[in-house]
Structure 1
């Protein structure tokens, strides 16, 4: 059976905060309707524990996720590539939809600063689902 689900790749430098939170929300809200990937141009050793905590507060568990390196193949296989501060390090392939989400970096921030970043990501992911024509199937966490 051919792949007909939209494929979305979230990219940030360290793949430890913003891109992981976005991937977590999209996977939760879209279920199997969207293929979700995340990667970083210079991946960290582990996910930001404050990002993990912020996501746990809304019922999404990122503890088993690990930062992954950005590859040309991941970009090439994706329909939508959403960057979050990786700048020119993200490879460009014609025919792909690219968006750059301007979001504060949660690195080094406390939980009170990360919560609004998390909530902004959730809102953007919901808009993305709408643009892709995918109805949310997961719990639309408050």
Structure 2
């Protein structure tokens, strides 16, 4: 896939501590691996203080870099310059209605994991599947 410019994509969830952080980490690695030039961001409508430790654990276990991953509010990402906005839940979708400059919007209804590592791994696998689908759509 040949892109003439660097795509800007953001993943937004409520706390930016699990799902959107996973999507940021996966997208950065996968896009780079397949040669897609992208700036990847994640944010929360109500950001947590820190990334859930199980999120970092499962990302590292599957080989995704976790350095620099931290929850941040939407105001800290370039939301006015996005090409793609992906909300990870209906709550984030509703709170991101003001973001209108993107060319494409998707809402992935990915449930927040509940429980231990297995639940977080299942959520990560769902995020990976969505990222692969995003790449196929171009």
* CA–CA separation in structure 2 for the residues paired with 1:19 and 1:97: 17
Aligned with residue 109 of structure 1, among 106, 109, 115 = 115
Query: Residue 123 of structure 1 aligns with which residue?
Result: 129
Q: Whole-Å Cα distance in 1 between the matches of residues 102 and 94 of structure 2?
A: 17
CA RMSD of superposed structures (Å): 1.9
- Matched residue SS, 1:98: strand
Task: State whether residues 80 and 102 of structure 2, in contact with CA within 8 Å, keep that contact through their aligned partners in structure 1.
Answer: no
- CA drift of 1:63 comes to 4.7
Q: Which runs of 5+ in 2 are unaligned?
A: none
Normalising by structure 2, what TM-score? 0.85
Structure 1 runs of 4+ aligned residues shifted over 6 Å read: none
Alignment gaps of 5+ in structure 1? 133-142
Report matched runs for 1:1-142 at 5 Å. 4-31=5-32, 33-71=37-75, 74-85=78-89, 86-90=92-96, 91-93=98-100, 96-106=103-113, 108-132=114-138
Distance 2:102 2:37 in 1: 21
Residue aligned with 1:71, SS: helix
Q: State the secondary structure of the residue aligned to 2:99.
A: coil
Q: For the residues of structure 1 that align with 2:46 and 2:110, how far apart are their CA atoms? A: 18
